[in-house]
Structure 1
């Protein structure tokens, strides 16, 4: 069994990866975003999911987590392989979503720092000359009771308040992928990293779910009221994620059934609240 260093192992995705690695008998050293990384360490097999997306309230933390810490690891330490967790958010307002497609940054995106730092990190990895793989997951969901992210927040409001305020248009659509799927793929890639050297891989469902579809499930399962707020000027669009590479090359890769899982998540939230 191999030795792993898991940056961000206490986070939402990282903790799921940790469970799968330890269940397979691997030794896993968890490092947080703020943990010091001494120079010239042998980190074994590295999985990096210590990112930060709070661009409005913590821009310097976003830079440090997504880019600076990674640069120190690449420059000053040894490792067998490094898998970096990027994001399909880099495809925002693009026509296509293939791993090799050109990308642009949107000037009116309040979270463009996130996209910029992820792309800077990707370029550092590709130019490092090290054995690396980049994973771009879709919008990852799972049972995270206290998460401030979109899905957990609206589920909590639907159950606790019987009301959900929707500040996105009904047609707003994203690709949602389960945390179990993302963790499984990351462990698989890390275990067979020789064939993934220098590659970027989308890990997503391959289809989009609209806010209206999510709202319909919330109403059916909780009886809540949905309040759709005026969204004039809303300018976010995500193309369906191209998952051809993952589907073709990753053994056992499977897409997620988000709406079915959403019903299960709502029941799990109810059980945990009770």
Structure 2
């Protein structure tokens, strides 16, 4: 069994990682904010999932979470290896989505600060000379009652309000990956020395349209789906390449968000009624 330090261990992804690590018998340390002992103690294997994506309201916190803190850890902390959780959002409006693809920043992207800081964080890891691995999960889903993420938010609205306002076109499509798959893959990859200095996508490898999700919500909750005609930002995502993760985890098979959505609706309903 190993010692793991999980930055962001109380967040959506981090909580699942901590839960799985503990179930496997590992020792887990979850630092609190501004905990200076992270520069004084052995951190073992670090999983860094303390990112921030609220570019509009907290741009400096985005910089701190995605770049500044990881820079300090890479320079000052003692650890065996480090897994930096980035995002497949860096492939937005690109032609390809392999880990070796050329990437550009879109000038009309109002969240380009997120992409910029994630790429800077990735590059700091890879140039640090430390034992590091960069992971790029796609859009992570799961039961998170208070999450502002797209899928939990519209599921809550379908159950609580009987209505879902969709401010994206029916054809809008993304790759969705289960938080449990992200956590288990992260842990498995952290145990492989061959992943050092690698960038690895964690995704389902298939894009799901908003209309497909809306149809299931409507069928299972009898909610009303309202499609709003707005000037939607230019956001298109290529199908995420999963070739590399399969080379490290041959039995990797991501869950289907469409297959899981019915169970998610049931769990949301039970947990919300229990409050």
Shorter-chain TM-score: what band? Answer: over 0.9
Corresponding residue number in structure 1 for 2:200: 201
Q: Which residue of 2 aligns with 1:210?
A: 209
CA contact 1:55–1:114 (8 Å) conserved in 2:
yes
Gap regions ≥5 residues in structure 2: none
Structure 2 residue aligned with 1:60: 60
- What is residue 77 of structure 2 aligned with on the other side? 77
Alignment of 1:39-54 (within 5 A): 39-54=39-54
| Partner of residue 258, structure 2 | 259
CA deviations 1:172-201 (Å, max 9, x no partner) are: 000000001000001101122x11110000
Where does residue 21 of structure 2 map in the other structure? 21
- Aligned residue pairs: how many? 273
Mapped to 2, the partners of 1:218 and 1:94 lie a distance apart of: 30
Mapping for residues 37-186 of structure 1, pairs under 5 Å: 37-186=37-186
CA distance in 2, matches of 1:220, 1:188: 36
1:10–1:32 Cα contact (<8 Å) kept: no
**Residue segments in structure 1 that go unaligned for 5+ positions in a row:** none
Moved more, 55-64 or 230-239: 230-239
* Distance in 2 (alpha carbons) for counterparts of 1:33 and 1:109: 30
Aligned partners of 1:145 and 1:152 also within 8 Å: yes
RMSD of aligned Cα (Å): 1.2
Deviation of residue 253 (structure 1)? 1.2
Q: In structure 2, what is the Cα distance between the partners aligned to 1:6 and 1:16? A: 11
Give the Cα–Cα distance (whole angstroms) in 1 for the partners of residues 34 and 207 of structure 2: 35
- 1:35 CA drift (Å): 3.4
CA shift, 1:42, in A, is 2.1
Query: Distance between the aligned counterparts of 2:211 and 2:32, measured in 1?
Result: 37
Cα shift at 1:248: 2.5
1:219 aligns with 2:218: yes
Determine if the alignment matches structure 1 residue 240 to structure 2 residue 246.
no
Deviation at 1:150, TM superposition (A): 0.6
Question: 1 CA distance for matches of 2:34 and 2:63?
Answer: 13
Q: 1:62-91 CA distances to partner (integer Å, 9 max, x unpaired)? A: 100011000000001121100000000000
Distance 2:217 2:161 in 1: 12
2-structure distance, mates of 1:38, 1:30: 10
Per-residue CA distance 1:132-154 (angstroms, 9 max, x = gap): 00000010000101111111110
Alpha-carbon shift at residue 33 of structure 1 (Å): 4.7
State the secondary structure of the residue aligned to 2:84. strand
Query: Aligned with 1:20: secondary structure?
Result: helix
Contact persistence 1:86–1:137 (CA under 8 A):
yes
